[in-house]
Amino acid sequence: MLKWLSFNRLGTHLLTTRKGVRVGEDEYGNVYYRERGEVADWRQERRWVVYPGEGELEASSVPAGWNAWLHKNREKPPSDVPLLVKDWEKPHSPNLSGTDAAHVPLGHVRHGGRRAPATGDYEAWSPE
C-alpha cells in the first residue's frame, strides 16, 4: 500500500481510470494519456504519462516526440503522426547518470584513476 502512495501513484491511477483516454505507448513502456472529452483548443487539454515499473520515475525516458506532445508543442501524438527522423540522428536514450551504464571518462577512479599523459600543448600550473 505504501508504494502506491509514493510518487502519487494512487492519485495518478485514480485520475487515469476516471478521466484518462489512452493515446499511445513508446518503446520504453511509458503509456500516454489525455483527458476524456472534447476541448475547444487542443492546447487546453490535460496530458500525462504513466511510467512503467515500480522503480524511480525518470522523466528523461520520454522520447522527443512524446515530450513535445506532452508539452503541447504538437497537436497530434507520435502514435498518430510520427516524428520525422533524420539520418544523422541517434536513437533516444534516457539519462544514465548514477547507473552502471553512465559515461565514465578515462581518468576516472573507476578506470584506475590514470589517463594518458598530456601532450606538448599543455603546461601544468604550479604555485610560485
**Tens-digit pLDDT profile for residues 93-120:** 888 888 888 888 888 888 777 777 777 7
| C-alpha to C-alpha distance for 48 and 4, rounded to whole angstroms | 18
**Which residue, 36, 37, 16, 32, is CA-closest to 74?**
32
**Which residue, 54, 46, 41, is CA-closest to 18?**
46
Q: What is the pLDDT of residues 9-25, one digit of tens each?
A: 677 778 888 888 999 99
C-alpha cell at 89: 540522428
Residue 65, SS3?
Answer: helix
What sign does the dihedral 90-95-101-105 (CA atoms) show? positive
**Which residue, 36, 38, 34, 37, is CA-closest to 74?**
34
State the pTM of this model: 0.70
Domain ranges in the chain are 2-70
